[in-house]
Amino acid sequence: MKNLSILGLVLIVLSLSSCNKYLDEKPDIKMVIPKTLEDATLLMNDYTTLNGGYPTYGEIGTDDYYLTAERWNALVNLDQRNSYVWADEPYVDALQWQRPYRTIFISNQVLEILGKLTKDQNSDAYKRNFGAALFYRAFAFQLLTELHCSAYVEATAQAELGIPLRLDAGIDDKSLRSSLKETYQQIIADFKNAAIYLPVVEPIRGRPFKASAYAGLARAFLNMGDFQQAYLYADSCLQLHAELMDYNMLKATDAYPVPRFNVEVLFSANPASAAPMAATTALMDPELVGSYAMHDLRKGIFYRVNTNPAGTYFYKGSYDKGAALFYGITNSEVYLIKAEAACRTNKIDIALLAINTLLKTRWNKEVAYIPVTENNADRLLKIILDERRKELVFRGRRWADLKRLNLDPRFQKTLIRTVGDQIYTLPPNSAKYAYRLSETVIRLADIPQNNR
């Protein structure tokens, strides 16, 4: 029996020595430290995280819709109520800041993984993921910039506040607000790099491809007022990807007539939910709804008649086929950028061609389409900008457009909100166009608030 006890002791000693290896096993098979190319692909496939949750406060503040006093009063989210009336109140919720930064974090993580896989550099999967990560990062930076920064003026951009440009996958680095100029430089650099790596054709829906990156660049340059570049990239985009949907093929009677991932979609993105803009809450701006021509199919596709109050309209035209709004990039937007940029750089014919190509697909085929023939650059620009608003309703563009167009006295607009007896106004070029950062962000990141 002595043997037995010795055996026992030996066993104990053995088990002690093998302890470290024993504890190296991971507790959950799905808990993975991402490090392979395949991991990068899986991370880039996280559609819900990467393509969703984009900020929407700006769009809540636009003139495309209004709320009755009852509906405004029924809103629960204080931040969203405040943004409707551009109240200069402290904002609490940090989610609309954090969500795009999650996309940025994942992109950085993927870039970090890929950075260590140099031997795979030439594989298609490597390039697709590398390009996608850069694209996602640029897209998220861009939407944050459009909301929280003032309009881009080349002369002052270096002095204006941008956003923190987080470029690696750690969480320890302190956030610093770059200048507006640096911010846009980063966005442009990322999009340009993405365009190099992204494939022309991307079979997985929801992921960007080469034309998406060109469209992103066109958007960025349009915001910066660099119409030359905006024109070039819009054109590059359309050369690769020019299809438009024929609205005659859509059924206006459907609850949500526009299919998801349709041929026009260059990149799909959804905002965080915006209660004021919900399908049965937001009443559309009557001026906007009334501005569609009789045979313009968009009115039937985008809007739903509402009976209470009578004669009002709800929005139903999301490119995501559902109640969720769509803030992604589509070809129709690129046509509009091309038309605007061409018009502003005096390529009238090209501008006319672009705008007519688009509008023709929106026109009832039973009735002959009357093309736009305006030759005066100023008047044509006005037409193009009106069409831009009519086409891109609730698509996350209006706030950025109002912001940049306010720089031009011709297009300045004072926004007015009426809630009961209370009237709120947002004058052109108001500092409020650079939306307040959440106080939570200010406190935790220790970065400066926008000038007030």
Partner 1 sequence: MQTTCNRESYALFRRKSTVLSRALFFGLPSKTDQKINTLKSSILKIGNLRNGSSQQEDHQPTVSALKASWNQVVLCYLLSPMLHAFNLIFCLLKALKVIAIPCIMVIAVFHSLCLYAQTPRKDSGVNGQRKYKLEGQVISAAEGTPMQGVSIYIENENLQITTSKNGTFELTVRNQRGKIKFSYIGYKSQEINYTSGVSMLVKLIPEDYKLEEVEVVSTGYQKIPKERATGSFEFVDNKLFNRKVSTDFVSRLEDVVPGISSSKVFPNNKGSLLNINIRGESTLNSDRWPLLVIDGVPYENKFADGGFGTFNNINPNDIENVTVLKDAAAASIWGAKAGNGVIVITTKKGKFNEKTNIDVNTNITIKDRPDLYAIPQMATSDYIDLMQYFFDKGRYDAYFDDWGTNLEPVIKLMKQEKDGNMTATQLNDELNRLKKIDIRDDFKKYIYRKAVNQQYNVRLNSGGDRVNTSIGLGVDQNRNELVTSSFRRLNLNTNTQIKATDKLLLNLGITYTESKATDSQIPVAYNALGKGISNFPYMELADAAGNPLAVDIAVFSQAFRDTVGAGRLLDWSYNPLKELDDSKRLQLNRDLLVNFSGTYVLPFGLKLHGLYAYQRNIGPVSEWRGIGTYSQRMDINQFASWDDKQVRWGLPVGDQLLESTWNSYTHQLRGTAEYSKKWNTHHDLSLLAGYDRRELGRDLRVSQYFGYNAETGSFQSVQFGKEVPYLNGLWGTNYLPDLNGFEKQLNRFVSYYGNGAYTFKERYIVSASFRKDASNLFGVKTNDRGQPFWSIGGAWVISKESFAKASILDYLKLRTTYGYSGNVNNTVSAYPTMSIQSYANSVTGQNFAMMTNPPNPTLRWERVATLNLGMDFSFKGNRFGGSMEYYDKRSKDLIAPTEIDPSTGFTSLTVNAANLHGKGWDIGLRGKPLQTGFWEWNSNLVFSYNRTKVTKAFLRSDVAQNNVNRSFSFQRTPITGMDLYSLLTYKWAGLDPEDGTPRGYLDGEISKDYVAIAGAKVTTLENHGSQVPLYFGSFRNSIRFKQVELSWNIAYQLGHKFIRPTFSNDAFLNYGSGHPDYQLRWQKPGDELVTDVPAFTYPNNANGSRMYVSSAALVENAGQIKLRDIQCSLELPAMSKYGFKSFRIYSYIQNVGTIWRANKKGIDPEFGSWYPDPLMCSLGLNFNL
**Spatial contact of 215 and 334, defined as CB atoms under 8 Å apart:** yes
Contacts of 437 (CB under 8 A, 6+ apart): 91, 97, 148, 447, 449, 450
Contacts of 387 (CB under 8 A, 6+ apart): 336, 339, 355, 358, 359
Stretch that binds partner 1, among 6-14, 57-65, 185-193, 344-352 (CB under 8 A): 6-14
> Rounded CA gap, 130 and 118, in Å?
12
Residue numbers 395-434 binding partner 1 by CB under 8 A? none
Contact pick of 15, 123, 228, 418 for partner 1 (by CB under 8 A)? 15
Give min distance, CB of 74 to partner 1, in A: 5
Q: How far is CA 82 from the centre of its chain?
A: 21
Stretch that binds partner 1, among 91-99, 187-195, 351-359, 427-435 (CB under 8 A): 91-99
Give min distance, CB of 26 to partner 1, in A: 5
Contact pick of 128, 137, 148, 166 for partner 1 (by CB under 8 A)? 166
Number of residues that bind partner 1 (CB under 8 A): 76
Nearer to partner 1, 97 or 126 (CB): 97
92 counts as binding partner 1 under rule CB under 8 A: yes
Residue numbers 305-324 binding partner 1 by CB under 8 A? 307-308, 321-322
Residue numbers 349-388 binding partner 1 by CB under 8 A? none
Stretch that binds partner 1, among 7-15, 127-135, 350-358, 372-380 (CB under 8 A): 7-15
For 180-306, strand residue ranges (E) read: 265-267, 283-284, 303-306
Nearer to partner 1, 27 or 409 (CB): 27
Give min distance, CB of 128 to partner 1, in A: 13
Contact pick of 56, 83, 103, 312 for partner 1 (by CB under 8 A)? 103
Q: What are 214-217's contacts with CB under 8 Å, separation 24+?
A: 214/240, 215/266, 215/267, 215/329, 215/333, 215/334, 215/337, 216/135, 216/138, 216/139, 216/142, 216/187, 216/191, 216/267, 216/329, 217/188, 217/191, 217/192
Stretch that binds partner 1, among 56-64, 90-98, 216-224, 289-297 (CB under 8 A): 90-98
Nearer to partner 1, 95 or 377 (CB): 95
Residue numbers 67-86 binding partner 1 by CB under 8 A? 70, 73-76, 78, 81
> Rounded CA gap, 331 and 327, in Å?
13
8 counts as binding partner 1 under rule CB under 8 A: yes
C-beta atoms surrounding 296 within 10 Å: 18
205 counts as binding partner 1 under rule CB under 8 A: yes
Contact pick of 37, 87, 95, 117 for partner 1 (by CB under 8 A)? 95
Contact pick of 54, 66, 105, 233 for partner 1 (by CB under 8 A)? 105
Nearer to partner 1, 94 or 138 (CB): 94
- Of the candidates 215, 199, 206, 234, which has an alpha carbon nearest to the alpha carbon of residue 138? 215
Q: Is 221 exposed, middle or buried (0-12, 13-18, 19+ CB in 10 A)?
A: buried
Contact pick of 36, 39, 179, 262 for partner 1 (by CB under 8 A)? 39
> Rounded CA gap, 263 and 269, in Å?
15
| DSSP 8-state secondary structure symbol assigned to residue 271 | B
Q: Is the dihedral of CA 106, 108, 110, 113 positive or negative?
A: negative
Contact pick of 120, 153, 175, 430 for partner 1 (by CB under 8 A)? 175
> Rounded CA gap, 408 and 406, in Å?
5
Residue numbers 235-274 binding partner 1 by CB under 8 A? 254-256, 259-260
